[in-house]
């Protein structure tokens, strides 16, 4: 029984001490919505030949013609990335009376498009050059660091504005900042930017769709929403006539 009474008294003492601390805790949220500024497309090229070397040469020839057209659109070698290469005997696909297709080479390449108005032109160039397929149009953000810093600034201002409203309405003044904590929106990173459906690029908590600016197109770029949160603890000073209990 004595132990129980001691625990109650101790709890009351701690609670009373917390009340005497006179603190205000506010949470600020920052959010910015921006459209994607680049797209990624994958395509495959197939080469055939009577030997592995000829199949590779056939694929290289098609790729050279294709990349030339892409470079004419304003892309460069930095926009291209080979993701998969395979060359082997063409099991089940070779002709019975000919050896010209006995071997096959497949090359898969990603194209990064930094100007979204070029998407349709790039796809037309790809389809006009005998490629096997074009797929996986993904919208992305090139540089997110500046946007993240802006959302942090918005979150900080939001927390401060909330604190000022409380101080004004409840008639107390803000003191020193006692504690600041950035609030992550996921367990793995401080920012999370996702896009619904295909094309999730790690890192938002909300998305919408916006048409690509410029000429009419059948492709639409997603908007990414960046969010940041902050917790701020202020000491507060009550005006003499507004002290609690008086």
Contact 185, 205 (CB under 8 A): yes
User: 189 falls in which pLDDT band (50, 70, 90)?
Assistant: very low
Q: What pairs with residue 232 in β-bridges?
A: 26, 180
pLDDT at position 27 = 96
Percent of the chain at pLDDT > 70 equals 70
Per-residue H/E/C for 67-129: HHHHHHCCCCHHHEEEEEEEEEECCCCCCCCCCCCCEEEEEEEEEEECCHHHHHHHHHHHHCC
Q: What is the mean pLDDT of residues 189-204?
A: 33
The residue with greater pLDDT, 208 or 126, is: 126
User: pTM for the whole thing?
Assistant: 0.59
* CA angle at 110 for the pair 109 and 113, rounded to the nearest 5°: 140
Alpha-carbon span 153 to 185, nearest angstrom: 16
Q: What is the pLDDT of residue 25?
A: 96
Q: Is the distance from CB of 86 to CB of 106 less than 8 angstroms?
A: yes
CA distances from 88 to 59, 60, 94 (A): 13, 15, 12
- The answer to whether 26 and 126 have CB atoms below 8 angstroms apart is no
pLDDT digits (tens, 9 = 90+) for 171-180: 999 999 999 9
**What confidence tens digit (pLDDT) does each residue in 148-165 have?**
899 999 999 999 999 999
**Interior CA angle at 87 toward 86 and 90, to 5°?**
120
């Amino acid at each position: 029984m004595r132990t129980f009474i001691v625990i109650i008294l101790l709890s009351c003492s701690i609670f009373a001490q917390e009340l005497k601390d006179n603190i205000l805790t506010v949470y600020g949220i920052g959010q910015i919505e921006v459209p994607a500024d680049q797209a990624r497309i994958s395509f495959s090229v197939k080469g055939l030949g009577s030997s592995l070397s000829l199949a590779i040469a056939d694929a290289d020839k098609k790729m050279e013609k294709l990349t030339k057209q892409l470079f004419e659109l304003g892309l460069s070698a930095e926009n291209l990335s080979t993701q998969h290469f395979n060359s082997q005997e063409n099991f089940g696909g070779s002709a019975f009376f000919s050896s010209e297709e006995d071997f096959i080479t497949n090359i898969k390449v990603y194209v990064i498009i930094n100007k979204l108005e070029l998407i349709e032109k790039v796809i037309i160039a790809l389809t006009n050059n005998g490629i096997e397929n074009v797929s996986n149009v993904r919208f992305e953000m090139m540089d997110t660091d500046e946007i993240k810093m802006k959302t942090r600034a918005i979150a900080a201002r939001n927390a401060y504005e909330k604190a000022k409203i409380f101080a004004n309405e409840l008639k107390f003044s803000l003191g020193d900042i006692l504690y600041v904590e950035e609030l992550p929106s996921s367990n793995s990173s401080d920012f999370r930017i996702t896009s619904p459906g295909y094309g999730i690029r790690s890192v938002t908590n909300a998305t919408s769709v916006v048409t690509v600016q410029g000429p009419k197109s059948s492709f639409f770029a997603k908007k990414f929403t960046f969010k940041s949160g902050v917790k701020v603890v202020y000491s507060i000073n009550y005006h003499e006539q507004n002290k609690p209990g008086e």
